[in-house]
Chain A
Amino acid sequence: MAELPKKPFAWQKWVLGVVMVVGLIISAQATGTNLPMFFQNFGQFTIIFQQMLSPDWSYTAYVVDPLIETIKMAILGTTIGSVLAFPYALLVARNIVTNRWVVGIFRFILNVIRTIPDLLLAAIFVAIVGIGPVAGVITLAIFTFGMVGKLFYEAVETIDEGPIEAIKAAGAGKLEIIRFAVIPQVSNYFVSYVLYAFEINVRASTVLGYLGAGGIGVFLQRALSQFRYDRVGLMVLVIFVVVLVIDYVSGKLREALI
C-alpha cells in the first residue's frame, strides 16, 4: 500500500511554540496580569460603561466647535505632511535617485520618523510650541509624512521603466523624466494614500487633544477627569459618527479623483 510521505520534523514550529509560552509567562509576570482580578472588578467597568450608554445630549452644542477644529487639524496635517512627502518619496526611490548613499541616509531618516507613535509626538510638540491645535497640526503633519512617504516611495519603485527609457532616449532631463514618465504613473496612488492618511488622521486627531494638542480631545480629557462618563459617551458617539462620515466622503472622493 502506498504511503504518504513523512513530514520532516518541524523543529522551527516547536521553537516558536516554546518561545511563545515562555514569553507569555514572563509577560504576564512583568505586567502583573491577573485576569481573575479583572473579572472580580468587572462591575466597576460595567458601571462606567452604563453611564456612557446614557449620553448627555445637552452637551452636544459644546462639542461642535472642537469637533470642527479637530477636522481642520486633520485636513491641515494631512495636507502639509503629504506636500512634504511627495518630493521626499521621489528622493528615496531607488529608480529615481541612483546614488545609494543618498537613498540610504534619507530612507533611514524616514524609518526613524515612522517609529515614533503619534501621541508621543504630540507630547513633545505641546512642550515645544505650547498647548493648542498647532501642536496637533505639526504632529499629524509628521505622522502623515512618515506614512505617505513610505507608501509612496514603494509605489514609485514599482512603476514601469519603459516610459522613463523612452523619454530619456528622446533627450529628456531628470525633471522632465519625473514630470512626464513618473508622475503620470503614480499620481493615482498618491491621491489614494493621502486619503487613507486623512482617514487615519481624523481618528488620531480626536485623542491628540488629551495631551493638550487641540480639538475634541481637550474636552474628552476634561470630561474624563471630572468623571462625567455621560459626556465621554456622547463624545465617543459623535467621534464614531464623524469617522463614519469621513470614511464615506473619502471613499467617494477616491472614486471621483482617480
Chain B
Amino acid sequence: MKTSTLPDAPRAGRLRKWVLWIALILVIGWSFTGMPLLQIKDNAVEVAGAMFSGLIHPDWGYVWTGDGEDLVSTLLQTIAIAFIGTFISAIISLPFAFWAANTKHKNWLVSRSGKIILTAIRTFPEIVLALMFIKAVGPGAFAGVLAVGVHSVGMLAKLFSEAIENMDGGAGESVTAAGGNRLDVTMLASFPQLLPEFVSNTLYRFELAIRSASILGIIGAGGIGTPLIFAISARAWNRVGIILLGIILMVTLVDYVSGAIRKRLV
C-alpha cells in the first residue's frame, strides 16, 4: 500500500527561515552575557515579601486626609494633568497632522519632513522633557502638564495624519460638484469625517497620558508619582500598596469610560 505524504515546503524559503531563527537564538544568547542575573540583593525575597504584605494590608488611612496630599487628591491631580495635557497636545497636533499627512495635493517631501519631526518628538524621552520644563516653570503639576502636552504630539499628530490620509475623498468631490467652495468642502465634508476619528484618537492618547502622568511625579512633576516614590524610598510598603491599588483602579476606570465612548464614536 502506498502511503501519501504531505508535499515539502519550498526549500529556499525554509533554509532562510532556519538561518534567521538560529541567528535570533544566538542574539538572545548573547544578550544573557554580562547580565548579573544572579547578583540580586540578598534580601530580595524579604523585601518582596514585605511589599506583598503591604499590598494585602494597604494603608487605608491614606485614602483621604483632607490636606491635599492624600491618595484621592493626588489621583485627581494626576487625571487633571493627563486631561489638560492631552487637550493642549490635541491642539498642537492639528497643524502638525496636516503637515505630515501624505495627501495627493502635496509634495511628498513636505509630508516626509513632518513625519521625521513627529518621530523625533516621539523618541525624545518624556522624563527629560519634564525635567526641562521643571527648569522653566519650577517643580509641580504644571511641568507635568507641559511634558504630557508636548510629548503626546508625536503620537497624536501621527494618528491624526493617518486619519487624514485615509479620508474618503468622495464626499469632498460631491460638495465641489454641487457648487461648494473650499470652505464648504472643509466644513461639510472633511470636518464631519475627521472629527469622530480625531476625538477617538485623542481619547486613546488620554488613556496613555494617564499612565505617563502617574509616573512623572517620580521626578517632581506632580501627581501620584511623588507620594509613591517617597513611600518606596521610605520602605512604607503599606502606603505603596494603597497607592498601587489606587493607580490600578484609576487606570482601569479611565480605560473603561474612554473605551466605551470610543466604541460609540466609531
Q: Which residues of A contact B (CB under 8 A)?
A: 23-24, 26-28, 30-34, 37-38, 41-42, 44-45, 48-49, 69, 71-72, 75-76, 79, 111-112, 115-120, 123-124, 127-130, 132-134, 137, 203, 206-207, 210-211, 220, 224, 232, 236, 239-240, 243-244, 253, 256-257
Contacts and interface: CB of A to CB of B under 8 A. Distances in A.
Contacts of B17: 256-257
A139 to B, nearest CB: 12
A79 B41 CA distance: 23
Interface in B28-77: 28, 30-37, 39-41, 44, 47-48, 51, 76-77
A230 B103 CA distance: 38
Given A123-B228, A220-B125, A129 B40 contact: yes
B119 A37 contact: no
B8 to A, nearest CB: 16
B215 A117 contact: yes
B204 interface: no
Nearest to B35: A133
B136 A203 contact: no
Given A31-B145, A48-B132, A112 B35 contact: no
A118 B208 CA distance: 12
A72 B27 CA distance: 9
Contact of B35 (A115, A117, A127, A137): A137
B141 interface: yes
B232 interface: yes
A201 to B, nearest CB: 12
Given A117-B212, A129-B40, A239-B125, A37 B144 contact: no
B84 A28 contact: yes
Contacts of A112: 248, 252
B135 interface: yes
Given A117-B211, A120-B225, A203-B123, 16 more contacts: A28-B80, A28-B84, A31-B80, A31-B81, A75-B28, A76-B31, A115-B251, A116-B244, A120-B218, A128-B48, A130-B44, A133-B36, A207-B126, A207-B127, A236-B124, A239-B123
A120 B83 contact: no
B27 to A, nearest CB: 6
Nearest to A137: B35
Looking at B137, B219, B232, the one whose CB has the most chain A CB atoms below 10 A away is B137
A37 B141 contact: no
8 contacts: A32-B142, A34-B142, A44-B135, A45-B135, A75-B27, A115-B252, A120-B244, A240-B120
B194 interface: no
B64 to A, nearest CB: 16
Contact of A236 (B40, B125, B136): B125
Contact of B128 (A41, A116, A236): A236
B87 A24 contact: yes
A115 to B, nearest CB: 4
Interface residues of B, number: 67
Contacts of A27: 79-81, 83-84
Contacts of A256: 16-17, 20
A69 B211 contact: no
Given A27-B83, A232-B128, A239-B125, A76 B32 contact: yes
Contacts of A34: 137, 142
A224 B128 contact: yes
A128 B43 CA distance: 8
Looking at B31, B133, B219, B252, the one whose CB has the most chain A CB atoms below 10 A away is B31
Contacts of B131: 224
Interface string B104-137: 0000000000000001100111111001110111
B31 A75 contact: yes
Nearest to A75: B31
A32 B36 contact: no
B34 to A, nearest CB: 7
Contacts of B16: 256
B45 to A, nearest CB: 9
Given A38-B136, A72-B34, A31 B128 contact: no
A194 to B, nearest CB: 10
Looking at A31, A127, A236, the one whose CB has the most chain B CB atoms below 10 A away is A31
B229 interface: yes
Contacts of B27: 75
B137 A38 contact: yes
Nearest to A130: B41
B35 A42 contact: no
Looking at A23, A27, A133, the one whose CB has the most chain B CB atoms below 10 A away is A27
